[in-house]
Chain A
Amino acid sequence: MLELLRQPWPWYTSGIVIAFIMVLLLFFGKSFGFSSNLRTICSACGAGKTVKFFDFDWRSQTWNLLFLVGAIIGGFIASEFLSNGEAVQISEATIRDLQQLGISSPDGMQPEEIFSLSAAFSLKGFLILLLGGFAIGFGSRYAGGCTSGHAISGISNLQLPSLIAVIGFFIGGLITTFVLLPLIF
């Protein structure tokens, strides 16, 4: 059993569990949306004193911060106890394309060229992570949600705004993939 769990799980198990988590949170009287935590953290750090957008009762969002803490613990459990240490099984075509950019084939979960500490503290790696993160934070609040809030919860509730947001996610993702990454690497 443990051997089976240690292999990568097929996509449908993940889809089923994510839908289950969404429903579970609804039955807990909450809604599934991860990026709200970023606003909550800003507010908890005192951003509400200077910026009105962060002046709200962030303690009402404690449940979502606990979900965030759980997500970190879940990642730790997966890497410590449920991992067989194999590299991510991406398609040959992706490996070839990324090699042309100078990114070597997967050795673990993340590319060495960005996530190893030496890469992350080179100017290029640092800016990729910092500016990428900045765009994620800015964009998710501007769009009012991220993958969980729009792509999963929003589209499940047949919300046209969420579909527009997801189309935006792809416009941005394709620009990075086919324009920015070849310029950067």
Chain B
Amino acid sequence: MKGIKFIIAGILFGIVMSKSEAISWFRIQEMFRFQDFHMYGIIGTAVALGTLATFLIKKFKLRDYQGNPIVFTPKEKSVSRYLIGGTIFGLGWALTGACPGPMFVNIGFSYWAIFIAIAGALAGTYAYGVVRDRLPH
């Protein structure tokens, strides 16, 4: 069962997002109102440690568990797609109080209403696929 390690990583993710309340609509509101350090602390710590880890992986040319080099694909250069796409994402993030990961963690919490948001997210993803060629990227 090669896949079990991904399930375990996901479980860890689900637990920690729950226990740090990052799946809560209230915490996202608090973040966008700049009224507490909590969410900034979570993202800031993750980014600080993530930057250090990424730097070390590159510096020492570390390999994954199968011996393949760990590669980081640079993001395509553009401003419009990131700014417009990001803004649309942000509108939804503050409305539902959940980005894609926490959306699914909320199912585990039996907040069944989140299925409406998930249905919306799938519809939005599909809609993007349909109109993709007509959008500025």
Check if A15 sits within 8 Å of B85, measured CB to CB.
no
How many angstroms from the CA of A107 to the CA of B96 in the assembled complex? 17
B94 to chain A, nearest CB (A): 4
Check if A172 sits within 8 Å of B113, measured CB to CB.
no
Check if A71 sits within 8 Å of B85, measured CB to CB.
no
Check if A139 sits within 8 Å of B86, measured CB to CB.
yes
How many angstroms from the CA of A141 to the CA of B122 in the assembled complex? 11
Q: How many contacts A-B (CB < 8 Å)?
A: 507
Q: Name the A residues within 8 Å of B51 (CB-CB).
A: 155-158
Interface size bracket, B side: 35 or more
Check if B10 sits within 8 Å of A67, measured CB to CB.
yes
Check if B20 sits within 8 Å of A8, measured CB to CB.
yes
A84 to chain B, nearest CB (A): 11
How many angstroms from the CA of A171 to the CA of B32 in the assembled complex? 10
CB contact list, A31-90 vs B, under 8 A: 31, 34-35, 37-39, 41-42, 47, 51-54, 62-64, 66-79, 82-83, 88-90
Check if A111 sits within 8 Å of B25, measured CB to CB.
yes
Q: Name the A residues within 8 Å of B120 (CB-CB).
A: 129-137
Check if A29 sits within 8 Å of B129, measured CB to CB.
no
Q: Name the B residues within 8 Å of A167 (CB-CB).
A: 83, 86
Q: Name the A residues within 8 Å of B89 (CB-CB).
A: 135-136, 138-140, 142-143, 146, 165, 168-169, 172
Q: Name the B residues within 8 Å of A2 (CB-CB).
A: none
Which residue of B7, B26, B66, B98 is within 8 Å of A90 (Cβ)?
B26
Interface string of A1-25 (1 = CB under 8 A from B): 0000100111111111111111111
How many angstroms from the CA of A13 to the CA of B19 in the assembled complex? 9
A37 to chain B, nearest CB (A): 7
Measured CB to CB, the nearest residue on chain A to B96 is A132
Check if B125 sits within 8 Å of A42, measured CB to CB.
yes
8 interchain residue pairs of minimum CB distance: A74-B14, A70-B10, A168-B86, A172-B90, A15-B45, A75-B108, A133-B120, A137-B124
Binding site for B on A (CB under 8 A): 5, 8-31, 34-35, 37-39, 41-42, 47, 51-54, 62-64, 66-79, 82-83, 88-91, 93-94, 97-98, 106, 109-111, 114-117, 119-120, 125-126, 128-148, 150-159, 161-162, 164-177, 180-181
9 additional A-B pairs beyond A70-B9, A79-B108, beta carbons within 8 Å, are A14-B16, A42-B122, A52-B129, A73-B10, A73-B14, A77-B11, A129-B114, A169-B90, A171-B83
